[in-house]
Amino acid sequence: MQNDISPLFAHIRRFVALDPAEEQLLSDHFQCRTIPRKAFLLKQGEICHNYCFVLKGCLRMYLNTDKGVEQITHFGIENWWIADYMSLMQSSPSDFNIQAVEESEIACIDSQTLESVFVRIPKLERYFRIVTQRAYGASLMRIKYIYTFSGEERFRHFERSFPEFIQRVPQYMLASYLGFTPEFLSKIRSKKEAR
Amino acid sequence: MQNDISPLFAHIRRFVALDPAEEQLLSDHFQCRTIPRKAFLLKQGEICHNYCFVLKGCLRMYLNTDKGVEQITHFGIENWWIADYMSLMQSSPSDFNIQAVEESEIACIDSQTLESVFVRIPKLERYFRIVTQRAYGASLMRIKYIYTFSGEERFRHFERSFPEFIQRVPQYMLASYLGFTPEFLSKIRSKKEAR
DNA sequence: CGCGACGTTGATTTGCCTCAACGATTGTGG
DNA sequence: CCACAATCGTTGAGGCAAATCAACGTCGCG
């Protein structure tokens, strides 16, 4: 059975209006997939061809540092787009891996196809502009937090902002995303309990 | 005398074709300004209304941390856009300051006006989508470098990537942008000379 | 000339990492 | 359904990269 693509339409409708014919066209061009836990959507060295919208589940984007550590740069949960935009735009091999943290359902479209859809539905370009702009804004905030907060402060802030997320992913992934070690996260948490 | 807006047209043409009537429309709606050294385009607490394209010169975007330190998040030089997209999209007070490092010439358009221009020139939306996507990609690379490189490695990498930039801005600004103290940058440099 | 802005250098401190050992929990094959 | 391994989190000791603080040199400019 085909996954339900409607969350994507709902998301698009938050920014631009779609008529039924356009929804049909999109349905025809998006490919829905179910990704098992720990399966990869993209592996380091491959070229990223797809824009992926997360219908359900959770994925992570990470890279392997020279020290052999996995560094998570990004999570993708429901209603987020995930892709290596650098690789996608330049058709260059990606430095990143994209892997399912939980079993996930995604709607993908490869960049060539998307270009052809833009021609037929110009306002979709508007949707992508807005969505990208929001993602860019979030990314700048992220840089702000990295530079102005200590590790502990970053965790506290994240905890306040996304409480539901804390128990959704393993702590070592959280620690990696926040830019420190699992041991350090453990120490922060034990400090809090003692209060 | 009006500043020359043509670098902006040249930049737009790298991504979409403009006919003379459209260039005229843009000329009518963009406002060119000369910003003296150290003047502000945006101050913390204000709402950012404008998308600004740097025709000439250099600006910096920074915030004041609670410890009273200026943290630079971003530089804008020729052919870059600069704005607080978060503040712009949400009409919320900005956390950032945007200030001219050198005397600079910019082409601005406020977000409302830009929306009306999008209606008349839909392909401009495409241009902004692409430009934003590139900026977002660059921002993700930045996060990658922050997390995977040491301070010294970040400096070396920056030096290799943007050699001309090194003597263009004061060292304390570079240090701030790279996420460490001016003292530390000074020590890195002295190490190199000793080679 | 004298002041302020910027860069340098050294001594000391600190936030977080590394490494190692050890529980708890989960999952898997016999 | 149990045994054992793998995975994940915790705790502590020791170490290091970079911050902080303070003093001083230098240049450009009113």
pLDDT at residue A8, as a whole number: 97
Percent of chain B with pLDDT over 70: 97
pLDDT tens digit sequence for B43-96: 999 999 999 999 999 999 999 988 888 999 999 999 999 999 999 999 999 999
* pLDDT value, residue B2: 66
Contact predicate B62/B81, CB 8 Å: no
Instruction: Tell me, rounded to whole angstroms, the distance of Cα B113 from its chain centroid.
Output: 20
CA end-to-end distance (rounded Å), chain B: 50
The pLDDT of A23-52, averaged and rounded, is: 95
Q: Which residue is nearest to nucleotide D9 (CA to C1')?
A: A186
Task: Mark yes or no for CB contact B129/A134 under 8 Å.
Answer: no
Burial class (CB in 10 A: 0-12, 13-18, 19+), B32: middle
Task: Closest CB to A71: pick one of B85, B118, B148.
Answer: B148
**Cα–Cα distance between A5 and A17 in angstroms, integer?**
16
Q: Does A182 touch chain B (CB under 8 A)?
A: no
Question: How far in angstroms lies nucleotide D26's C1' from the CA of residue A37?
Answer: 61
Contact B114, B125 (CB under 8 A): no
Residue owning tokens 């401009």 = B124
What's residue B193's pLDDT? Answer: 56
Residues A12 and A127 sit within 8 Å (Cβ to Cβ): yes
B171 CB below 7 A from strand C atoms? yes
* Cβ within 8 Å of residue A93, ≥6 positions away: A44, A45, A46, A47, A87
Using an 8 Å Cβ cutoff, are A104 and A59 in contact? yes
Q: What pTM value is reported for the model? A: 0.92
In this prediction, residue A194 carries a pLDDT of 52
For chain B, helix (H) and strand (E) counts, in that order, are 9, 8
The CA distance from B111 to B51, in Å, is 7
pLDDT average, residue stretch A3-7: 90
pLDDT category of residue A3 using cuts at 50, 70 and 90: confident
* Residues (60-89, chain B) with CB within 7 Å of strand D atoms: 67
Contact call for residues B109 and B50 (beta carbons, < 8 A): yes
> What's the pLDDT score for residue B65?
87
DSSP string, A99-136: EESS-EEEEEEEHHHHHHHHHH-HHHHHHHHHHHHHHH
Q: pLDDT tens digits for A91-149?
A: 999 999 999 999 999 999 999 999 999 999 999 999 999 999 999 999 999 999 998 89
